[in-house]
Amino acid sequence: MAEKKKILYIVEAMGGGVFTYIVDLANELVNSYDMYIAYAVRKQTPQNYKDYFDKRIHLIEVKSFVRAINATKDIVAFFEIRRIASEIKPDIIHLHSSKAGALGRFAFNGKRVPLFYTPHGYSFLMQNSSEAKRKIYKGIEIICGKRKCTTISCSEGEHIESLKLNKQATYVNNGINMENLQKLMDEVGSLEQHPFTVFTIGRICYQKNPTLFNQIALAMPNVRFLWIGDGDLRNELTASNITITGWKERKEALKYSVSGDVFVLTSLWEGLPISLLEAMYMKKVCVVSDVIGNNNVIHNGKNGYVCNTLEDYIVAIKERNPMLAEQAHKEIVNTYNTNVQAKKYAEIYNRSLECYVK
């Protein structure tokens, strides 16, 4: 039997949707490749995060990774990931998130080993940063884009942004592990009797626009609203009909999701949110903001609702056509799942290996 090729994932943003993405994709690919993940822990990283991974996957913590730009720690992280790669001698290196993408594209030249980068939402699109910071982030991406590296975006919308920076780019849509999600749903069971609930899931931060979520709740005082998660801006959720669960382990968070009826995402920007794909699979009516990622999978009036104004959200929640949720579920089964996702990544990886002679 031929020896499996080694793939090294370098991940700074190991929390939230990125964490779920890495877990599901790595667990799928480990059947075909020898998987290594060099990562950093964040507040949102589950305490028992190692339990989520297949035991065949090698996990290596990068202690010096930090989210913000920090010259001293970034230099240390630069040499740390180079040392890790020199010890592993991977056949493929795949960088995940902006920080890993910036450091990794200079730590490795892409000449001897195929090099890939997935942004998971570009930093220069983050509207909570000043215009000056966003220009710096974009400048870094433009400079890094000149390196020998292929960008693999996680949605068509993100791919369009990537092409503005680097023509050596493609995309593979995010996907969810349907089998694992269904198993968890079966364990949780269905709640036949529960109050009608509008819910969302994720960090309560500027990106997720809790102010708008709160305005929707204020406009619908007789409806129960639920935010599954926590964050620095929880004080923005002042409406008395909003419940905040705080951070929960995946199974407990899923219990809350199962008890929800309409999934709302008021984000100011996205990549392609895993929480949305999971809600689609669970046949929840999805009501989302009109931004990249959301509008790549939700098509207004066909498989959910895409909204631009407060009134749009209110009308959609009141209408909540269940037939749209059925259509959304079908699209997850056919397109947005880890089986399809892993197959497409394997095709990209294998093609790249054919071009490299060691």
Distance CA 117, CA 105 (A): 8
Q: How far is CA 320 from CA 212, 264, 278, 316, 323, in A?
A: 19, 11, 18, 6, 9
Distance CA 172, CA 154 (A): 5
- Topology at the third CATH level for domain 178-334: Rossmann fold (3.40.50)
Q: Is the pLDDT of residue 267 over 60?
A: yes
Q: What is the pLDDT at residue 2?
A: 65
User: Which residue has 């503005």 as its token pair?
Assistant: 164
Q: What is the pLDDT at residue 188?
A: 82
Q: How confident is the model at residue 345 (pLDDT cuts 50, 70, 90)?
A: very high
As a whole number, mean pLDDT of residues 27-51 equals 91
Domain 6-175+337-354 has CATH 3.40.50.2000: yes
Exposure b/e, 238-260, CB count within 10 A at least 16 = b = ebeebeebeebebeebbbbbbbb
CATH 3.40.50.2000 intervals, the chain = 6-175+337-354, 178-334
User: Could you tell me which of 176, 115, 175, 161 has the C-alpha nearest to residue 348?
Assistant: 115
| Residue range 130-175, pLDDT digits in tens | 778 888 888 888 898 899 999 999 888 889 989 988 889 999 998 9
Report the chain's mean pLDDT, rounded to a whole number.
91
pTM of structure? 0.82
